[in-house]
Amino acid sequence: MSARRTGTASVAVLLATALGAVAVDATLGLDAARDDARQHEADAAVIEDQRVRVIRENEFAGRVVARLIAGEVSLAAAVDAMEPIHRARPGIECAWMNDPPPTFRHRVARSVMIRVGAELEGDPSRRAAILTRLDAEYATLR
């Protein structure tokens, strides 16, 4: 009978060890899941900040372009306003790879002019007149 009890005790110890290992693994898994959740929350906060910044920059650019279209500011003044935003954004240096503008300011000017063209797409005659004016200003841009 003692052999049976020893076997029963051995099974009980093995079962307790296995259950303990499962419990530890579950606890560690929860900790890892909590760490992942915290990291996702931090990433989401960064992305939300970027989203808000891009929205504000686009709203600002829209106001600058509206003033440029209305003739309230020159292309050079619009470039002055938009240059800091473009410097903070990656990618503008990759635009116009086949026909690169001579300076960063010229890249910004082209970007602004493209936005003007897009804003006036529904009014072709006005679009042509304003882009002609901006082309002349672009030629003198420093």
The closest alpha carbon to 92, from 132, 61, 67, 68, belongs to 61
- The whole domain housing 103 covers 2-140
Cα dist from 17 to 14, 22, 23, 88, 140, whole Å: 5, 9, 10, 57, 81
Structure tokens of 136?
A: 């002349």
Find tokens 């990291």 and name the residue: 39
Threshold 0.75, pTM exceeds:
no
Residue whose tokens read 């909590």 = 34
Q: What pLDDT digit, counting tens, does each position of 81-113 carry?
A: 999 998 888 777 777 777 888 999 999 999 999
Is there a contact between 101 and 109 (Cβ–Cβ < 8 Å)? Answer: yes
The total number of structural domains that make up the chain:
1
What pLDDT does residue 25 have? 64
Question: At residue 32, does pLDDT exceed 80?
Answer: no
The sign of the dihedral angle between the CA atoms of 113, 116, 117, 118 is positive
Q: What is the DSSP code (8-state) at residue 92?
A: G
Closest-CA residue to 73 (of 61, 64, 62, 83): 64
- In three-state secondary structure terms, 123 is coil
Q: Which two tokens stand for residue 118?
A: 């897009």
